[in-house]
Amino acid sequence: MTLPLPSPVFDANAAGGGLGNLPEWDLTDLYPAPDAPEVARDMAWLEKACADFAAAYEGKLADLDAAGLLACVQEYEAIDVIAGRLMSYAGLRYYQNTMDSERAKFMADAQDRVTTFTTPLVFFSLEFNRLEDAALDRLLAANADLARYKPVFDRMRAMRPHQLSDELERFLHDESVVGASAWNKLFDETMAGLMFKVAGEEEELNLEATLNLLTDTDRAKREAAARSLAEVFDRHIKLFARVHNTLAKEKEIHDRWRKMPSPQHGRHLSNHVEPEVVQALRDAVVAAYPKLSHRYYALKAKWLGLDRLQVWDRNAPLPIEQPKTVDWDTARKTVSDAYAAFSPRLAELAEPFFTQGWIDAGVKPGKAPGAFAHPTVTTVHPYVMLNYLGKPRDVMTLAHELGHGVHQRLAAAQGELLSSTPLTLAETASVFGEMLTFRKLLDGARTPAERKTLLAGKVEDMINTVVRQIAFYDFECKLHAARAEGELTPDDINALWMSVQAESLGPAFDFMDGYETFWAYIPHFVHSPFYVYAYAFGDGLVNALYAAYADGLPEFQEKYFDLLKAGGSKHHKELLAPFGLDLSDPGFWQKGLDMIAGFIDELEAMEA
């Protein structure tokens, strides 16, 4: 596709409407510029290092002693660092402005070159997985430094039953740049380029600004935004259906060749979590819909003075809520103080994000929507992206993404291969950071109305994190199952989407014509199939962790930091044992759901 010319220079701070001086990324810790000699140097090093690695080790892993295998793994890790550094820089620049053709080209070219250079490495995991268990055990027993990598080896070897021939694995690696990643870019560029004409607004708005109107105090504005979203999504629905059909079919082909027992199985393997644990989470949440979302939204309809809620009322502020804009300095202080109240060390770990150009906060044309924390590589530091508009929820998003950033900083000491945390545990620090911020605000509430507003906001966030994400997971399960039977029309996908909406949101809602297309803008379905259950997983886990903290578990802070520092070096059973928690316990998820229900109990009591 032809990309538009770069967007004009845009002053995020001028457009911030009194939000203060919004920070932007300083990416020079990765590379000084796209044409810097360091980029060319690392590209050249990567090409040679990959070729040298293959020449030194391909066909020879079974002959290595413990010291030789350790050297091999460490060389592989060093290659991973440079490849990750290059792609982090290219990706972060691209997400700052996905409509800039130079940035898009730089990322695509970098991805092509890195994929080509690393193709010779494909043999490593395949050959490693052919090592006999007894032989590998002997090597690990002989060398403690090598044994440290056992969690990495365990995750690799979990793929043994699903491994293809060396030739096929090389082909899939090479082909990836024109497969899923190409469709991902098409989706990202299309979404970033969408503009919405909302009744009553002078100018067209991008996706982020239009979604933001769904939380406006003016019901007419919320409705106008929802209808504009529906109109634009419907206009592009054939393209979005094509993206989902293609990606789901590609996944079905790969899964069939790899003999995966279900579309979700690959995600469970990468998350290092047992399928039955995820199923227990899903079943517990679905069973709790009536006492959570159904009950809460019935309360909300009453607060809003409505017999029925429309979809544009779901995230509406309460009538008693005083509209307010939180400037950047206030948001920073709120989160930093909440972190410091838990532990000064937590606030210290978060501080460089504010002072060193590690956050990009402003809403800008072409900038990717949403928010994320990207760990880059363990030799640099994470970067946080926000689209900060000064809403109270934006403060919680800052607390969330900073939690990720702190987690990534602490885990970096594990090294590149061991630092990465499975998605199921990756949400721990982020959701915990939100909980700390919420509890600090709740403790400081001066009036019953302020407490009610805070509680309602937290319940809505938890419903969005738990109920909505499990509904999304069910939608994905249905989508992939249906696609396995044949091509899906937009109407087919729309029907699957609506099949989970009424069930999860409850009888208080009516659904406008057009809402059936709202699956189209959710990036997780495109970028990371079945990612979404990790949010519910993280919320349930953090609720249980916070209960242990509130109950005064001895040395909780140190145990918490140890959990974060472990990164991906331990299984969830080992990580959570110091807190007396076990995810395989059937009653585990009920603890977290009971916390949400308890907040709703308090809100109901306020009505008595």
Q: Over the range 357-367, which residues count as b (16 or more CB within 10 Å of their CB) and which as e?
A: bbbbbbbbbbb
CA distance 534 to 187: 22
Q: What is the pLDDT of residues 44-75, one digit of tens each?
A: 999 999 999 999 999 999 999 999 999 999 99
CA distance 378 to 533: 26
Residues of the chain with pLDDT under 70: 1-17, 608
Nearest to 230 by CA among 511, 577, 515: 515
- State the pLDDT at residue 375: 95
**Under CATH, which number does the domain 195-235 receive?**
1.10.287
- State the pLDDT at residue 608: 63
Question: What residue spans define the domains of the chain?
Answer: 14-178, 195-235
Q: Indicate the length of the chain as a whole number.
A: 608
- Interior angle at CA 83, CA 356 and CA 101, nearest 5: 75
Question: Taking the alpha carbons of 339, 341, 343, 349 in that order, is the dihedral positive or negative?
Answer: positive
Residue 534 identity (one-letter amino acid): A
- State the pLDDT at residue 251: 96
- State the pLDDT at residue 69: 97
- State the pLDDT at residue 1: 24
- State the pLDDT at residue 131: 94
DSSP element (H, E) containing 451 = helix 448-462
Q: What is the pLDDT of residues 368-427, one digit of tens each?
A: 988 999 999 999 999 999 999 998 889 999 999 999 999 999 999 999 999 998 877 888
**Under CATH, which number does the domain 14-178 receive?**
1.20.140.70
- Side-chain half-sphere exposure of 346, counting CA atoms within 13 A: 26
- State the pLDDT at residue 496: 97
- Interior angle at CA 494, CA 493 and CA 500, nearest 5: 95
CB-CB contact of 245 with 479 (8 Å): no
Burial of residue 441 (CB within 10 Å: 0-12, 13-18, 19+) is: buried
Give bridge partners of residue 359 from the DSSP assignment.
384
- State the pLDDT at residue 504: 97
DSSP 568-600: TSS-HHHHHGGGT--TTSTTHHHHHHHHHHHHH
- State the pLDDT at residue 582: 86
- Side-chain half-sphere exposure of 223, counting CA atoms within 13 A: 9
- State the pLDDT at residue 586: 72
- SS3 for 441? helix
CB-CB contact of 333 with 394 (8 Å): no
CB-CB contact of 1 with 101 (8 Å): no
CB-CB contact of 225 with 214 (8 Å): yes
CA distance 136 to 129: 10
Residue 12 identity (one-letter amino acid): A
CB-CB contact of 119 with 52 (8 Å): no
Structure tokens at 67: 């010291």
CA distance 581 to 216: 40
Burial of residue 171 (CB within 10 Å: 0-12, 13-18, 19+) is: middle
CA distance 110 to 25: 20
Q: Residue holding tokens 């969690």?
A: 151
DSSP 362-415: S--TTPPSS-EEE---TTS--EEE------HHHHHHHHHHHHHHHHHHHHGGG-
- State the pLDDT at residue 237: 97
